[in-house]
Each structure stands twice: as C-alpha cells, then as structure tokens.
C-alpha cells in the first residue's frame, strides 16, 4: 500500500514523497534537509528521485541525496539535471522495483523547454506547469507550448489527482476571481483553500475536474474568461491561445 506525503520546502515548495513501509521516491527534492529528516525519522530508504525540470528549487537536493542513498535520478532528457542517471521523454516509463510502481512520462514544455510530468495510477506530478487554480510562468518555452501542455493535462480523466510543486492556490484563486467573478465554484474553492491553509494543510492534490471548473488558464474558451482577457488587452484576442497569452501576462503583473 502506497501513501503520498507532502514535505514542505523553502517558502512554498512541496517535495512529494511516494512511499510504502520501507521505501520512498521523491519528486523534485529542491532541498535535501527536510526530506532527509523525514526519511530518517520514518526509517525509509530513498530508491528514486524524480525531477520534472531543472530549476534549483526542484533539483537542489539531488546530489546530497544521491550520495547518501545511491539512488537513480530521473529527469527530462532535454535539460541538465544534477546527477541524472535516467534521462526521460514522453512515452518512456519509470519502473521502481522497491515500490512496485510503473510511472508514465509526459512532455509538457512551456515553463522550461524540457519540462516533464509523471503519471502514476491516476496521479499526476506536474512540477511547475499546472498549479492549483493557475499555471507556471513561461520562462524558456513558448506560450504556444505552455498552452498546448495545459490542454494536454486538462484532457486527462477528471478524477486524476494533481500534485504540483508549489502552494500557490490561494493567490491564484484571487486572480481567478478577478478574471471570472461570475464563477461560483471559485467562491467555494477559496473557502476550502482558506480553511486548509488556516490548519496549515496543503490545498493539494486537486483534481483535473476541479481545475477545469476553476482554473482560468484552462478556461480561455469560456466566454466570461475570454471577454475578461479581451477587456484587459488593447487588441481583441482572435482565439483561445491569444486569450491565454493575455491572461498569462496579466497574472505576471497582478
Ligand atoms: Zn520552476
Ligand atoms: Fe519551482
């Protein structure tokens, strides 16, 4: 039986730990210290590191952890990942014998140009691409790539659990409510998120279904979102991609 735990790191990162009684795999260990503390206090051996992209807040703990556990490090083939032993791209699978797990790899460029996600039995580990009620900034890839990656994730089954790498949900909901004040699901989501945060609990995982109902970056074709983007821009967007580009720029300055 597996469980998934959130290990907070830095200000707002989560290192997701997938574990059984003996072994653990860690997604995006940006900092070794909080993970080491957790593994040692739970008596777990780390059998794999799964990186989604190369940013320091996701890979910063790799070498220290590899030194201690000699574990393989998986990551995107298109990026430099410290200590990487298994470069991956879409269509490949990750087999973790100690945990009896097989994960699928998806290419989701945009935040970085080689960004990948891991999908395991209806659970999506998507790094800095899809966030609770938001999406990552477009640093290295193109807006077209980011939009296509988000559409790809939104086409996954609605009950897919979304484990993203940052606790940004509440701030994202504030922006979403500005964009789509008529969306009642956002009011409900904000209340739930505030209650969780008050109890120092993660607002994650969310689900693809909840993101489709509330995340403006997955809703560029919904008329209230589209019209809001149009009002915010000097020239009217011609399609959903252009509305997405306006929203992403608006959020950067929000
Ligand atoms: Zn990042
Ligand atoms: Fe990050």
The percent of residues above 70 in pLDDT, for the chain, comes to 100
CA distance 147 to 112: 13
**Active-site residue (options: 28, 31, 53, 115):** 53
Query: Is 55 labeled as catalytic in the residue annotation?
Result: yes
pLDDT classification of 216: cutoffs 50, 70, 90? very high
Which strands, in side-by-side order, build the sheet including 206-207? 93-96, 101-107, 116-120, 123-127, 161-164, 206-207
Sign of CA dihedral 75, 77, 82, 83: positive
Q: How confident is the model at residue 177 (pLDDT cuts 50, 70, 90)?
A: very high
Establish whether 166 is a catalytic residue. Answer: yes
Kindly give the distance from the C-alpha atom of residue 27 to the centroid of ligand 1, in angstroms, as a whole number.
13
Per-residue pLDDT of 70-117, as tens digits, reads 999 999 999 999 999 999 999 999 999 889 999 999 999 999 999 999
Give CATH for domain 1-89.
3.60.15.10
| Residue 185 is among the residues annotated as catalytic for this protein | no
Q: Which ligand is nearest to the CA of 13?
A: 2
* Residue 147 annotated as catalytic: no
CA nearest to 243, candidates 223, 74, 253: 223
Residues of the chain with CATH 3.60.15.10: 1-89, 108-254
- Fold of the 108-254 domain: Metallo-beta-lactamase; Chain A (3.60.15)
Instruction: Give residue-wise pLDDT tens across range 10-66.
Output: 999 999 999 999 999 999 999 999 999 999 999 999 999 999 999 999 999 999 999
| Neighbour count for residue 79 (Cβ, 10 Å) | 20
C-alpha 191 to ligand 2 mean position (Å): 25
Closest-lying ligand to the alpha carbon of 165? 2
Of 54, 55, 115, 147, which residue is the catalytic one?
Answer: 55
User: Rounded to two decimals, what is the model's pTM?
Assistant: 0.98
Whether 12 is catalytic? no
Is residue 107 part of the annotated active site? The answer reads no
Give distance in angstroms: CA of 59 to centre of ligand 2: 10
pLDDT in tens, 194-210: 999 999 999 999 999 99
Say whether pLDDT at 1 is over 90: no
* Contact of 149 with 108, CB cutoff 8 Å: yes
**Confidence category of residue 166, pLDDT binned at 50, 70, 90:** very high
């Amino acid at each position: 039986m597996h469980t998934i735990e959130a290990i907070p790191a830095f200000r707002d990162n989560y290192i997701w730990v997938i574990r059984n009684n003996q072994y653990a795999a860690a997604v995006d260990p940006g900092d070794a210290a909080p993970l080491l503390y957790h593994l040692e206090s739970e008596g777990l051996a780390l059998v794999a590191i799964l990186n989604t992209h190369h940013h320091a807040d996701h890979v910063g703990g790799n070498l220290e952890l590899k030194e201690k556990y000699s574990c393989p490090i998986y990551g995107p083939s298109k990026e430099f990942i410290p200590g990487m032993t298994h470069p991956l791209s879409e269509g490949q699978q990750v087999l973790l014998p100690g945990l009896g797990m097989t994960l699928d790899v998806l290419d989701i460029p945009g935040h970085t140009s080689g960004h990948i996600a891991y999908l395991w039995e209806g659970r999506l580990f998507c790094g800095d691409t899809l966030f609770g009620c938001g999406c990552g900034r477009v640093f290295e890839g193109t807006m077209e790539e980011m939009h296509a990656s988000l559409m790809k994730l939104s086409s996954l089954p609605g009950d897919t659990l979304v484990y993203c790498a940052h606790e940004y949900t509440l701030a994202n909901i504030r922006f979403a409510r500005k964009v789509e004040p008529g969306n009642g699901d956002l009011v409900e989501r904000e209340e739930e998120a505030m209650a969780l945060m008050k109890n120092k609990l993660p607002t994650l995982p969310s689900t693809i279904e909840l993101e489709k109902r509330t995340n403006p970056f997955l809703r560029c074709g919904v008329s209230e979102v589209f019209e809001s983007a149009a009002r915010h821009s000097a020239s009217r967007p011609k399609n959903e991609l252009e509305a997405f580009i306006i929203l992403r720029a608006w959020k950067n300055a929000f």
